[in-house]
A and B are shown apart, each in its own frame.
Chain A
Amino acid sequence: MNAPMNSLNHSFNEIDYGTPAMREVSAEVTLMIDGKEVTVPAGTSLMRAAVEAGVMVPKLCATDSLEPFGSCRLCLVEIDGRRGFPASCTTPAENGMTVRTQSPKLADLRRNVMELYISDHPLDCLTCSANGNCELQTMAGVVGLRDVRYGIGDVKAADGGNGGVIGKTHLAEEKDESNPYFTYDPSKCIVCNRCVRACEEQQGTFALTISGRGFESRVSAGQDQPFMESECVSCGACVNACPTATLTEKTIIAKGQAEHAVITTCAYCGVGCGFKAEMKGNEVVRMVPWKDGGANEGHACVKGRFAWGYASHPDRITRPMIRAKITDPWREVSWDEAINHAASELRRIQQKFGQNAIGGLVSSRCTNEEDYLVQKMVRAAFGNNNVDTCARVCHSPTGYGLKQTLGESAGTQTFKSVEKADVIMVIGANPTDGHPVFASRMKRRIREGAKLIVIDPRAIDLVSSPHIKAAHHLKLRPGTNVAVLSALAHVIVTEGLVDEAFVAARCEAKAFDQWREFVARPANSPEALEADSGVPAAEIRAAARLYATAGNGAIYYGLGVTEHSQGSTAVIAIANLAMATGNVGREGVGVNPLRGQNNVQGSCDMGSFPHELPGYRHVSDTITRTLFESHWGVAIQPEPGLRIPNMFEAALDGSFRGLYCQGEDIAQSDPNTQHVTAALLAMECVVVQDLFLNETAKYAHVFLPGSSFLEKDGTFTNAERRISRVRQVMPPLSGKGDWEATMALANAMGYRMHYTHPSQIMDEIARLTPTFAGVSYDKLDRLGSLQWPCNADAPSGTPTMHIDTFVRGKGRFLITQYVPTDEKITRRFPLLLTTGRVLSQYNVGAQTRRTANTEFYAEDVLEIHPHDAEERGIQENDWVGIESRAGQTVLRAMLTERVQPGVVYTTFHFPESGANVITTDNSDWATNCPEYKVTAVQLVRVAQTSQASEWQKEFARFTAEQEHLLTQAHEASLLS
């Protein structure tokens, strides 16, 4: 059962304070409200102060996620010594005030206001989807409305009223049901503006407005368009803010209101939003962003808020399956049979080919506890260090680069820290698509005046969007990050912009002097590197000056930094910039990797890399190894094992024959697909544990059904090192959580594991990992979440790192020589392909493709600059063949100036697109993180009739065959 939940409010009726809390508390004021004394931070609204005093003032247009608006006139109050009836939401509390929230006059005023609202509102409360959760209905009750003199909707007023009149109404207006997840019913709208303000303030998209004036005023998406045709990004903030049934989740319309709720953590991106899973029994009826979630503070995006239906998709495989060869039909078997088969195969391989001939992959989508168990199983039960994680192919350079410079393999800040940034540098990241909830925070700060520098080959949405304009967009050529970062450093050093006091106090002097001498060289000047990077020197100079002098400078970066042959060098260069300008160790600054998947940080923390035990301690370190050996009761090899790409290589030379792969789809997500599938074909036992028969599973011999985040207990660690609880809201469809399956396999291989709840695994992690020493489920339940390091020195966790001293002591500058990638353009391959993702789809798409998110993005397209398209006779929507040194595929063209001439771009959400058939196995020098972001390619327009590439045709054949083999398993199980 769940651990006790001492203080978290899992119910869905949270207190709404009406207006937001003050961000900064400068002074306090004391006042009387309805005879109760209350002390609040200066600037707090009377409405919020009243709630603090236990007094609920009636309200409709106010809610504590939005700035006060003062339009509904329900929250009027009386203040001694003041004339009139000020709105409590817009009136700040002052020292010595005496406030009354109830009086006969106020009651009259409120009833009059409510009477007008109800005169234009349908009276279908009993059958309304908001029934049980309607603020309008509640407020009508609170103000005691009994009679409506103007008629109610289309029902005439009673005789005693106003002579049987009927007012004009909006009741006949039609619903907009275009969005797959929510409806807009204008007949129920009270024009409180909460949705419009949520779209502006919380989300920052400005898709909604009020069109028309007076009685004609209506909420409008875009320019009176259906939601799906507008700029709406379907984040759900408007739906959350709506006090009536006007904007309602379709699941609520279909199923009704929830009867209980459980706080948990989203399993999509590295933001790690807290959600309330609103439930009816074991069924989720909606996911509502958790107001107290440290990462998201009540906001969400289209993925976490709405795209959870994959968890109950009919494609889910819920029974274990085995087969001898991948051309055999699958056979559904019991858990015991599948586990015993996998164990005996893996042991057989080890006996024949050696102890190091098998390995395992840890998932950055699974929980910390599951990750820890997989690496423990590999090291203890397999008896080798051949364990790696999909973080290998995204953020492994972050781990290396930040450890070398700052001393810890993690970002330095909280997300909230961006509220204090004065200049924000976004490098190789596309937050509005990849990390949308953090992007909303960032955009809010930019609207408040922070300056923005974007370093990206593409014009991402942040460069120019409503009320956001980058001061500088350094539109570099793919593969030249290090050149641009060195040039920025050159300007900072040669123009005297170094924070000398910070460097002298906090950093290694000799290393800094060497670095200063290096970056100051003329070869590293913006002018010298302009030819390589394509960025005008003047722009680089201006951006460097802005970053170094505008106050708090915060760097946010993503896979556009790491997924390069110099990924680690670029991370080091970023840390160098932050240290040189003193932008580390307080709020508003820092080095912030935006992690791709929900638990990238956690999987790295948990010792998933072949050379590191939990807590980033090298396997060759005898003290650490001895600690784990004594706890685990086995000997641990002191040499590093194989990384993912090395496993493929070793498979092809026959020294690696068996793989346990949990929650990762290497056949789609890893580069050079044909190399990967050749390696999988060369293995004798591939065990895949996943929700679906993913691309890798089509090459597997054992399939273990995985469980979704809704089905298990555990923790995720997000990009800000925040450990948050994942709570089971429904039993695992397969009968076992992923951690239980791993444990069963370890036991079957003869290594005893006997946990009865994931909290025990966390307790073991805490015992063995100094940065997690103070972490427990009990504390997580009390505090909501914890940012590691969490130990005796920091029992409540560490929001900001490196405050007085770097984790490694003194910060270390490292020289970052720009080395051009081997992926060079030639006459044969004259364009550079770079890859990324879109808002509505997630990674390999296994989850989001099985939701209505496909209505937003149904296929991967190739972005190409109109100039390059014209040269090749390519027009919008043409099928285009893309060829690289690694392979060939065909995609549909989209002409756009978002990409620069010479650069094309695509996503990898759909396996049939084969984006990774094109990418090569070129990789980061330090970590082997693949260079997804730079591939030299050629494009050719292809005829409609023969559009698919050879790979795509073979893929279609192979997929059909594998699906048939799966169907046979189902049919056999029905017969038996």
Chain B
Amino acid sequence: MNAANLIKMANQIGAFFEAMPDHEQAVSDVALHLKNTWDPRMRKILLEDIATQGDSELKPIVREAVALLRAG
């Protein structure tokens, strides 16, 4: 799994939801989309990459969603 590809995909998901007026809902929808459609190993690699490389490549909404994922 190429982490750069996963970051790109996560940001694409973020780009759809960031247009939604209810920000809190949008963040939770991004997290839900990652949880519902990504194989766990994809989420794991994304989280590991963020842990080691930082999250500067991520859109802000994805950062918030990732925080939700990490919180479980």
Contacts of B21 in A (CB 8 A): 514, 517-518, 815
Option from A566, A611, A816, A817 in Cβ contact (under 8 Å) with B37:
A611
Surface stretch bound by B, among A29-37, A338-346, A923-931: A923-931
In order of increasing CB-CB distance, the 4 nearest A-B pairs are: A817-B19, A925-B12, A642-B39, A819-B15
Q: Is B56 an interface residue (CB 8 A)?
A: no
Is A649 in contact with B2, judged by CB distance below 8 angstroms?
yes
Is B36 in contact with A925, judged by CB distance below 8 angstroms?
no
Distance in angstroms from A72 CB to nearest chain B CB is 62
If A926-B33, A928-B9 touch, whether A817 touches B15 (CB-CB below 8 Å) is yes
Interface string of B39-56 (1 = CB under 8 A from A): 111100000000000000
Distance in angstroms from B41 CB to nearest chain A CB is 6
A and B contact pairs by CB, cutoff 8 A, 5 listed: A643-B39, A652-B2, A655-B1, A925-B16, A926-B37
- State in angstroms the CA–CA spacing of A204 and B36 once bound together: 46
Q: Is B20 an interface residue (CB 8 A)?
A: yes
- State in angstroms the CA–CA spacing of A356 and B42 once bound together: 13
Contacts of A385 in B (CB 8 A): 39
Distance in angstroms from A378 CB to nearest chain B CB is 13
Option from A517, A611, A817 in Cβ contact (under 8 Å) with B36:
A611
- State in angstroms the CA–CA spacing of A518 and B2 once bound together: 35
- State in angstroms the CA–CA spacing of A571 and B20 once bound together: 17
Interface string of A924-942 (1 = CB under 8 A from B): 0111100000000000000
Closest to B22 in A: A514
Q: Is A569 an interface residue (CB 8 A)?
A: yes
If A650-B1, A655-B1, A655-B41 touch, whether A640 touches B36 (CB-CB below 8 Å) is yes
Closest to A655 in B: B41
Contacts of B36 in A (CB 8 A): 611, 618, 620, 640
Distance in angstroms from A359 CB to nearest chain B CB is 10
If A649-B1, A925-B13 touch, whether A518 touches B42 (CB-CB below 8 Å) is no
Is B42 in contact with A569, judged by CB distance below 8 angstroms?
no
Chain B interface, number of residues (Cβ within 8 angstroms): 22
| Chain B facing A: main interface SS | helix
Closest to B11 in A: A925
A residues 601-647 with Cβ under 8 Å of B? 610-611, 618, 620, 639-643, 646
Distance in angstroms from B8 CB to nearest chain A CB is 8
Contacts of A641 in B (CB 8 A): 39
- State in angstroms the CA–CA spacing of A650 and B38 once bound together: 12
Contacts of A815 in B (CB 8 A): 19-21
Given contacts A386-B39, A517-B21, A611-B36, 20 further A-B contacts (CB under 8 A): A514-B20, A566-B16, A620-B36, A639-B39, A639-B40, A640-B36, A641-B39, A642-B39, A643-B39, A646-B39, A649-B2, A653-B2, A816-B19, A817-B18, A921-B5, A925-B12, A926-B16, A926-B37, A927-B37, A928-B9
Contacts of A639 in B (CB 8 A): 39-40
If A649-B1, A649-B5 touch, whether A640 touches B19 (CB-CB below 8 Å) is no
Closest to A925 in B: B12
Is B41 in contact with A640, judged by CB distance below 8 angstroms?
no
Closest to B39 in A: A642
- State in angstroms the CA–CA spacing of A514 and B25 once bound together: 14
Interface string of A235-263 (1 = CB under 8 A from B): 00000000000000000000000000000
Is B12 in contact with A565, judged by CB distance below 8 angstroms?
yes
Is B1 in contact with A926, judged by CB distance below 8 angstroms?
no
- State in angstroms the CA–CA spacing of A517 and B15 once bound together: 19
- State in angstroms the CA–CA spacing of A497 and B60 once bound together: 37
Closest to B42 in A: A646
- State in angstroms the CA–CA spacing of A568 and B16 once bound together: 10
Contacts of B9 in A (CB 8 A): 923, 925, 928
Chain B interface residues toward A at CB < 8 A: 1-2, 5, 8-9, 12-13, 15-16, 18-21, 33, 35-42
If A653-B1, A655-B1 touch, whether A569 touches B16 (CB-CB below 8 Å) is yes
A residues 637-670 with Cβ under 8 Å of B? 639-643, 646, 649-650, 652-653, 655
- State in angstroms the CA–CA spacing of A569 and B33 once bound together: 14
Contacts of B2 in A (CB 8 A): 649, 652-653
- State in angstroms the CA–CA spacing of A422 and B42 once bound together: 47
A residues 906-933 with Cβ under 8 Å of B? 921, 923, 925-928
- State in angstroms the CA–CA spacing of A815 and B5 once bound together: 25
Contacts of B41 in A (CB 8 A): 356, 642, 650, 655
Contacts of A923 in B (CB 8 A): 9
Closest to A514 in B: B21
Residue among A356, A569, A816, A817 facing the most chain B CB atoms (10 A cut-off): A817
If A650-B1, A653-B1, A655-B1 touch, whether A925 touches B15 (CB-CB below 8 Å) is yes
- State in angstroms the CA–CA spacing of A819 and B2 once bound together: 23
Closest to A654 in B: B1
- State in angstroms the CA–CA spacing of A82 and B39 once bound together: 78
Closest to A569 in B: B16
Contacts of B39 in A (CB 8 A): 356, 385-386, 610, 639-643, 646, 650
Closest to B12 in A: A925
Contacts of B33 in A (CB 8 A): 926
Contacts of A646 in B (CB 8 A): 1, 38-39, 42
Closest to A819 in B: B15
Closest to A922 in B: B8
- State in angstroms the CA–CA spacing of A643 and B9 once bound together: 13
Contacts of B16 in A (CB 8 A): 566, 568-569, 817, 819, 925-926
Interface string of A855-891 (1 = CB under 8 A from B): 0000000000000000000000000000000000000
- State in angstroms the CA–CA spacing of A640 and B35 once bound together: 8
Closest to B5 in A: A649
Contacts of B42 in A (CB 8 A): 642, 646
- State in angstroms the CA–CA spacing of A424 and B36 once bound together: 35
Distance in angstroms from B24 CB to nearest chain A CB is 14
- State in angstroms the CA–CA spacing of A611 and B43 once bound together: 14
Is B1 in contact with A518, judged by CB distance below 8 angstroms?
no
Contacts of B15 in A (CB 8 A): 817, 819, 925
- State in angstroms the CA–CA spacing of A653 and B48 once bound together: 15
Contacts of B18 in A (CB 8 A): 817
Distance in angstroms from B6 CB to nearest chain A CB is 9
Contacts of A618 in B (CB 8 A): 36
A residues 136-172 with Cβ under 8 Å of B? none
Closest to B38 in A: A640
Contacts of B1 in A (CB 8 A): 646, 649-650, 653, 655
- State in angstroms the CA–CA spacing of A618 and B36 once bound together: 8
A residues 352-385 with Cβ under 8 Å of B? 356, 385
- State in angstroms the CA–CA spacing of A926 and B38 once bound together: 10
